[in-house]
Structure 1
Amino acid sequence: MTQETTIPSARKAELLEAAYRYALEHGLAHLSLRPLATAIGSSPRVLVFLFGNKDGLVRAVLARARADELALLDQLGDPKAIGLTTAVERLWRWLAAAEHRQLLTLWAETYATSLVEPDGVWGGFAAATVHDWLTVLAACQPPQERDSAEGAARRTLALAVLRGALLDLLATGDHDRVTAAVNHQLAQDEQRARSSGTPGPVRSSQ
C-alpha cells in the first residue's frame, strides 16, 4: 500500500469516527454537511471527496453504528452455554445502561427512518438489525429448539420484548418499571418453556 492511499484512508477513518460521534449527539435525520464538517474539523469538500456525497457519508455512519451493535452481540459470551433467557437478561442490562442512551437513540431514529424511507439511504437498516439479533438469539437455543416453530417464536418474542422495552425506556426514562416488565416476561417465557418440555438453562443471577 502506498503512502498516497494510506493517508486518505487514515483520514477517512478518523473523520468517520468523528462523524459517528456527532451523529450520536445530533442524530442523522437532519444532517447537513456544513455544520458537521465544521464540528469535526473538516470541510464539505473533503467529506464529499472521501465519501462521495452526503448519502455515502450517512451509509458509512450507519455501518459504523451497526458495527457497535454487532460488537455488543459478540460480548454475550458462549451462546451455547448461556441460553436464550440469560442472553436476553444480559442484552437488557446493556440496553438499559445510561451510558448507551445516545447510541440507542440513534438506533431508534435510524430504525424508524428506514421503515418510512425504504428506498432511501436508510433502507434495509431495520431488517438487517432484526436479522442480526435473531441470529444471535437463535445461537443461544439448543438445536432441537432453535429449529422448531416454537423456538423461532420464542426468540422472536424475546426480540420484540427487548425492542419494545427499549423504546419505552427511551421515551420515559423509567428504568425500574421497564426492567420489571422485562423480567416478568422472561419468567413467564421460561415457565412456558419448562411446561412444554423445552430445555433451557436456569436464569442467571448476575
Structure 2
Amino acid sequence: MNSTEPTPSPRQVELLEAAYRYALEHGLADLSLRPLAAAVGSSPRVLLYLFGSKDGLIRALLERARADELDMLARVRAADLDTAALSVWEWLAAEEHRALLTLWVEGYARSLVDATGPWAEFAEATVRDWLSLLAGAQSDDERDTPVGEARRTRALAVLRGGLLDLLATGDADRVGAAVRGHFAAGGGPPPALTVSPGAS
C-alpha cells in the first residue's frame, strides 16, 4: 500500500501477511478467494471489504513481495558494481528465498502481458529498483555515462538470467559458478556490436 492510502488496520495487516504466506506457497496466477480465505481464517467477503476487490488484494500482495525485494536491496553495501552484483546473487541463490523469487518471477511475467490489471508496471518497477542499486555501487565518474549504464544493465541481465535458470533447474552449483565467474572476472564495457557484411 502506498503512502497516499489510509493506514491499514491491524486486521488488514494481519490478513495481508497471512495471505502473503499463502501466496508464497501457492502462487498468484490462479488465486481463488474462497480457499485463500479459509487458509487465513477469514472469509471472501471480509477480504473484499478490506482490499476493495480481488485485484486490490493481488496488488497488495505484489507490493508486499516488492517490499521484501527492496529490503534486500537496501542491505547491499558494496564498493563497486561487481561486488554489489555478487552480493545480490548470493541472496538470490539462497534456498530459503526460492518461494519469494518464484512469486517475483510470476508477477514479473504477468505484468508484461497485463497492462491494466494489478500486475501492471510490476516488472518495470523491479527493473528500476535493481538498476538503482547497481548504479549506487558505481563511481561518480562512471554512473552517468553510457558505459556505466551499459555495465549495470548487463549485470542485471546476468543476474536475472541466472535466477531464471536456477528456478527452472535447481542447479545451484552450475548456475552459481557461471554467475560468480562473470562478476569475479570484473566487468568492463560490453564489446561493440559488429555485423558481418551481408548479414540479414
Q: Same fold (TM over 0.5)?
A: yes
Q: Which structure is higher in helix share?
A: 1
One-letter amino acid matched to 1:136:
L
Q: 1:161 aligns with which of 158, 163, 181?
A: 158
Report the equivalent of 2:81: 84
Q: CA deviation at 1:120?
A: 1.7
Q: 2:114 aligns with which of 117, 128, 135?
A: 117
Whole-Å Cα distance in 1 between the matches of residues 29 and 145 of structure 2? Answer: 39
Report the equivalent of 2:46: 46
Q: CA deviation at 1:116?
A: 1.6
Task: Give runs of ≥4 in structure 1 deviating > 4 Å.
Answer: none
Whole-Å Cα distance in 2 between the matches of residues 30 and 76 of structure 1? Answer: 33
Whole-Å Cα distance in 1 between the matches of residues 148 and 182 of structure 2? Answer: 16
Whole-Å Cα distance in 2 between the matches of residues 133 and 158 of structure 1? Answer: 10
Q: CA deviation at 1:188?
A: 4.0
1:97-155 C-alpha deviation (Å, 9 max, x unpaired) = 00000000000111001112122210100000000010111010001100110000000
1:53-80 C-alpha deviation (Å, 9 max, x unpaired) = 1001011101100000000001112x5x
Whole-Å Cα distance in 2 between the matches of residues 66 and 19 of structure 1? Answer: 15
Aligned counterparts, 1:1-206, within 5 A: 9-77=9-77, 79=78, 82-190=79-187, 192=188
Whole-Å Cα distance in 2 between the matches of residues 38 and 116 of structure 1? Answer: 30
Whole-Å Cα distance in 1 between the matches of residues 116 and 54 of structure 2? Answer: 16
Whole-Å Cα distance in 2 between the matches of residues 67 and 87 of structure 1? Answer: 19
Whole-Å Cα distance in 2 between the matches of residues 185 and 94 of structure 1? Answer: 17
One-letter amino acid matched to 2:62:
L
One-letter amino acid matched to 2:109:
A
Report the equivalent of 2:3: none
- Uncovered stretches (5+) of structure 2, i.e. residues with no partner: 1-5, 190-200
Aligned 8 A contact 2:28 2:58 in 1: yes
Whole-Å Cα distance in 2 between the matches of residues 176 and 72 of structure 1? Answer: 22
What TM-score, normalized by structure 1, do the two folds share?
A: 0.86
Whole-Å Cα distance in 2 between the matches of residues 107 and 87 of structure 1? Answer: 20
What is the aligned length?
Answer: 184
Whole-Å Cα distance in 2 between the matches of residues 180 and 136 of structure 1? Answer: 23
- Uncovered stretches (5+) of structure 1, i.e. residues with no partner: 194-206
One-letter amino acid matched to 2:170:
G
Aligned 8 A contact 2:83 2:183 in 1: no
Q: Once superposed, what is the RMSD of the aligned Cα atoms? A: 1.5
